[in-house]
Structure 1
């Protein structure tokens, strides 16, 4: 299934443009170059069910820190003072969490809860999108190119973090190097326990036997409870740094979300097929 993580080309563009002049600068004074920023993003890889090692998020110096370093160490042209930090400093693109420092100051779990205040996240997202909107920079310039890439990254980060299932997949991949969406980590690799399989089969049979919208409404209420309970267990797993439990509950949540979609699209006699 498709993941809401930007393509490698997007990250390569951001890294290349970080080496150019500050993309948000409005001063007409002398230009300075920032040192290239090495964005750490782990390659997609698969670990076996027995592995339980945690890979910490990158703590290397961000583009924001590099910009501040260059401004503090480089002289300004005569007659032109330094621009304000809000105008010149790009956001920290180390990972999705560092993009939203006001809402997520402590980073990902286990340093912070799995649950995220969505309303606060959306306010910060809209503020960042407004500040770095591509229309604010001349077309064809390095600033404009970087703002396009940054806008795409912000969109992907917000979409991912605001959805518990996408957030869980992202944390498993970014923190532990586990991609639960690949065929190597699917049901045949043991991530789905027999109890879950039995529960999924029973839910699918109940959906197939439904004959009225009243039946569907009852099934939707039951499934909403499953989703809520699974998200709670999943959050505790990440907060306890329990990768095995997190993998299992992430797969369970995917089943229930698939069932939720099937219930919304239900029609009498329509074939039911859950995606895992």
Structure 2
């Protein structure tokens, strides 16, 4: 890849990893418009490192508290942070299992422009419905085991291209009555273990692959995806508190229609 392509793709990955607008829907556009080839395994690892670093650093106080609480729980000491840490682990299991068992099957048969366009539209409408109907009264302290399981099962659905991991987990949290900031924060924290697992899997593939690694391309992927993801998290939390999810729903519908047009050509 040239420098422009590396920056462009890393920017897209960083922005769409945490916004409820589907990274799959955006990453398929360059290939359709510019005819770009797949960015390669090394670049995938790089953007995973960048986005993971962004969410960990942005929520470093929460992450530190969760780790301390979890370690204390292993010693039999109960804390709110320890309880939340176990709920995040529980919510990660469905997607991790589904990723191991069915990721190849789902992506192989469903990663088409038509499927991605339909998923983008349908799950966008579901996000709008959840945002309109949510009681918006429950907070982080109100999350229970059944809530974590439901959000975790929703995250597993995101293996269908065009769904959006952040979008479907926020949608489920809203349907369960959580306020927008809690829905977004839990989704962001939930991204840490799943991105870590995905990054480790891709890293293992990279280590066992004979493919050459372009360090310049790698550094661009990490840097650009980190900056864009960090900014995305910061401004997204401000936007949803003032405007709700509607701007992202409208954007998803427009994007879905555009992709649907491409798929029918």
TM-score range, shorter chain: under 0.3
User: What is the TM-score normalised by the length of structure 1?
Assistant: 0.25
User: Which protein shows a greater Rg?
Assistant: 1
| Greater RCO, CA 8 A, separation 6+ | 2
